[in-house]
Structure 1
Amino acid sequence: MTEPTPFTGDSAERPSRWRRFSAAARRAASLPVQGIDYLYQTGQAYRHFTLPILNGAIGDQLAARQDARAIQMSFRQLGADIAVPELHLTGPPLTTVVFLHGLMGDEMIWQAGTPDTPRYGPLLQREAGVRCLYLRFNSGLHISQNGQLLSGLLTELLATHAESVGELVLVGHSMGGLVIRSAGYYGTHTTAGVAPAATWIGRLRSIFLLGVPNDGSFLEQNSHLTSVMLRKLNVAPTRFLSKAMDQRSNGIKDLRYAILVDQDWQSPYADDVLMPPRTVVPPLPGVPYHVLVGSLLKTANSALHHYFGDGLVGAGSAVGRIFADPALPPEAQVHTRVFAQQSHAGLLSNPEVYQYLREHL
């Protein structure tokens, strides 16, 4: 009679089905914990972005109901708002560079980098001998509202620190550049009987506009057109979708055609698709403007470059009809530079862009 063959080989070395099932169950059970831990760590690392994103999306609504989460335009130091008198600017007059972020951004985009992607603020302060100040603003408000707030804040800066602030340089990325242009408008126009805030205008040395949609954003134009078409269909689902889309902030809506003054968004024709009102805001006379344009392509001579540009702002819009107008008066000083193969966010940490800033301060 043949002896039964003992159970040996690979089968004996493998864990039992129950052990394999138990190990798989333990791994599956730990996934939610690991996911929550990952989200927490990520949230801690990027928590300074959470509030600006919320304000960019619905900041106008937060401000309207006086919600504590609504950002107030302010200079920033050490991650906190700081009043102008508390800036403690001392010493001889220095060229003062004021940085403004874009939609859903904050002041950290100019400061927090890595050795491979250094940010412009600390570099300029260290290498160019200038003073750098950083602003944070509620990007969900109308651009014109932020423009007036900026004009007032710069006026207060010069009134409080007249002996320490030399010439002013303004640097704006995306929406921040539009806020600068709006501030220039309100700094040279009388509003509601108030004299123009010409003090800071007279100190302007130069303005840098990085990836700024000077003629509007194709993304917002498409969003507005989609919302209008859904509303015109006039059935319950499309009305719901249109209403939901229209909850985006006033700041986002102003990006459609770069609305820089109050009367344009206050007009009853503000939502017209083809010919909405748009007040012309020309360059400030005698102030050099440096219009820096990003392009995802290698060449700037194409329709794709003109429309898509850096991926978020079309190159045609960034150059702007006003800045490219050959009929600009002689005192207008506009310098345009295109940076090939450069994304919208990449304009904030590009060595060539930094070199341009340093050379033209």
Structure 2
Amino acid sequence: MVGPHLAKSAEGLDRWGKTLSDIRYPNTSIDRVTTHVIFIHGLTGHYEQTWESRTNPKEFWPTWLEADTGDVGVWSIGYPAAASRWQRGDAMALVDRASNLLPRLANERKLQSGNIVLVGHSLGGLVIKALLRKAEAEMPFKANVASFVRRVRQVVFIATPHQGSDQATGKCLKAPLTPSRNVGRA
């Protein structure tokens, strides 16, 4: 479902025209925004559903920041985040995800001024770390990237597996992997 503040542009498409990332724009008038808070979801997450309340009707709770302050713009980044290519075929390495998101954010006209706070949940935190590493490498060559990085004031990590996760290392498997008894038999 595409919300009223969702942007999809040619810059966010792969060579087959498939969306690589989406941006949910703030509700607040950009002219009044002094701080941009950018939410980045985690594994199997969604640009809105990850941050919704469990109430009925559901609320995209980050917009409460906009309502309470008036000078904060809340953004949310959406991207395919399957646990593996086997699930939906759209998993992407962190470096590649950062390479996709950095130009979207650094070139976004509405993000050209104001402080930036990045908030990442789980995999989203790892994406932020990769994005900032990529940005640091590009700063000397790209003024828009340098401006973006200089304006990042805070990074918030929510349940980010900085040291890896049991799921990634296979420690979460409860039973050892053994070949089927029928392997090699006709």
The TM-score with structure 2 as length reference comes to 0.68
Question: Tell me, which stretches of 5 or more residues in structure 2 are unaligned?
Answer: 3-13, 82-90
Secondary structure in 2 aligned to 1:148?
Answer: helix
Counterparts in 2 of 1:247-286, with a 5 A limit? none
State the shift of 1:117 in Å: 8.3
The root-mean-square deviation of aligned C-alpha atoms, in Å, is 3.8
Q: Structure 2: which amino acid aligns with 1:107?
A: Y
Name the count of aligned residue pairs. 160
- Aligned residues with identical type, % of pairs: 21
Q: What's the secondary structure of 2:116's corresponding residue? A: strand
- Report 1:206-285 matches (<5 A): 206-222=154-170, 237=183
Q: How far apart are the structure 2 equivalents of 1:218 and 1:124?
A: 34
Secondary structure at the counterpart of residue 123 of structure 1 = helix
- Mapped to 2, the partners of 1:152 and 1:190 lie a distance apart of 11
Deviation per residue, 1:144-170 (Å, 9 max, x gap): 11112222122112xx2366x410011
Q: Compare the two structures and name the one with the higher helix fraction.
A: 1
Aligned counterpart in structure 2 of residue 125 of structure 1, from 33, 43, 66: 66
Q: After the TM superposition, which segments of 4 or more aligned residues of structure 1 sit over 2 Å from their partners?
A: 87-90, 115-120, 193-197, 223-226, 233-238
Distance 1:77 1:200, change over 3 A: closer
- Pick closer, same or farther for the CA change 1:162–1:104 going to 2, 3 Å: closer
Partner residue in 2 for 1:161: 110
Residue in 2 aligned with 1:267?
none
**Which structure has the larger Rg over C-alpha atoms?**
1
Greater relative contact order structure (CA < 8 Å, 6+ sep) = 2
Cα shift readout 1:51-90 (whole Å, capped 9, x = no counterpart):
xxxxxxxxxxxx68x3x6x432121359xxxxxxxx9953
Q: 2:41 aligns with which of 85, 101, 113?
A: 101
* Structure 1 residue identity aligned to 2:106: T
The one-letter code sitting in structure 1 at the alignment partner of 2:22 is S
State the Cα deviation string for residues 229-273 of structure 1 (Å, max 9, x = none).
65xx799739xxxxxxxxxxxxxxxxxxxxxxxxxxxxxxxxxxx
> Please, which of 171, 174, 178 is the counterpart of residue 119 of structure 2?
171
Conserved? CA contact 1:89–1:161, under 8 Å: no
SS of the residue corresponding to residue 237 of structure 1 reads coil
Partner residue in 2 for 1:345: none
Amino acid at match of 1:144: V
